[in-house]
């Protein structure tokens, strides 16, 4: 309900098949995995699929989607949809909190995302090695940390393996 249909794949061993419980058709599930892009198709490589029994999890997910959209659009609101005074006082001339870009990313994360976007025109995106050479002024650990944040927040996704990346939004 919060995104377009997505093909999900899960690789299991024969021993794991016996342990898997069947989930009824039409039931809500929570899938945790890696977003992949291959041959022009997005798919999800599932690491865990869990049946949702408490419908509060669905409500919570919808709220997380709204929050993520607000972060991506750069809007900050309190619970009453007012701009909080605290967020205004800590802003610079540019209108963002110090050290943060309009999309809520740090400067380093923004640099990593910018390079990945530039290389997203290529079929497989950019490799980690090429990313490091493009950002030679940054430490490898900072690049890896930024990648983890960008992957977790859905700004980038893996393509042919865990070391090739593309931007989710051009």
The pLDDT assigned to 63 comes to 85
Q: Is residue 2 part of a domain?
A: no
Q: Is residue 86 part of a domain?
A: no
For 97, which DSSP code? B
By C-alpha distance, which of 135, 160, 134, 165 is closest to 148? 165
Each residue's pLDDT tens digit in the chain (170 positions)? 677 788 888 877 766 665 566 778 888 888 888 888 777 788 888 888 888 888 898 888 888 888 777 776 666 555 555 555 444 444 444 444 445 555 678 888 989 999 999 998 888 899 999 999 999 989 999 999 999 989 888 889 998 888 999 998 76
Q: Is residue 100 part of a domain?
A: no
Report CA-CA distances (Å) from 40 to 3, 75, 101, 159, 170.
18, 32, 30, 10, 15
**HSE-CB for 78 with a 13 A CA cutoff:** 8
Q: Is residue 143 part of a domain?
A: yes
What CATH number has the domain bearing residue 14?
A: 2.40.50.140
Specify the number of domains making up the chain: 2
What is the extent of the structural domain holding 155? 107-167
Q: What is the pLDDT of residues 24-35, one digit of tens each?
A: 888 888 888 888
Q: Are 32 and 62 in contact (CB under 8 A)?
A: no
What CATH number has the domain bearing residue 126?
A: 1.10.10.10
């Amino acid at each position: 309900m919060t995104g377009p249909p997505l093909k999900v794949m899960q690789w299991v061993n024969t021993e794991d098949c016996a342990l898997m419980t069947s989930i009824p058709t039409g039931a809500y599930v929570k899938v945790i995995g890696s977003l992949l892009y291959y041959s022009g198709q997005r798919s999800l490589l599932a690491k865990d699929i869990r049946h949702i029994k408490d419908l509060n999890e669905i409500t919570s997910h919808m709220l997380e989607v709204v929050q993520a959209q607000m972060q991506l659009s750069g809007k900050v609101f309190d619970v009453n949809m007012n701009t909080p005074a605290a967020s205004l006082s800590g802003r610079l001339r540019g209108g963002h909190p110090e050290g943060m870009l309009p999309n809520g990313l740090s400067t380093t994360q923004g640099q990593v995302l910018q390079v990945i976007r530039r290389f997203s025109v290529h079929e497989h995106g950019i490799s980690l090695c090429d990313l490091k050479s493009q950002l030679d002024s940054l430490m490898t650990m900072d690049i890896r940390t930024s990648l983890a944040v960008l992957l977790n927040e859905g700004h980038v996704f893996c393509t042919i393996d865990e070391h090739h990346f593309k931007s989710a939004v051009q």
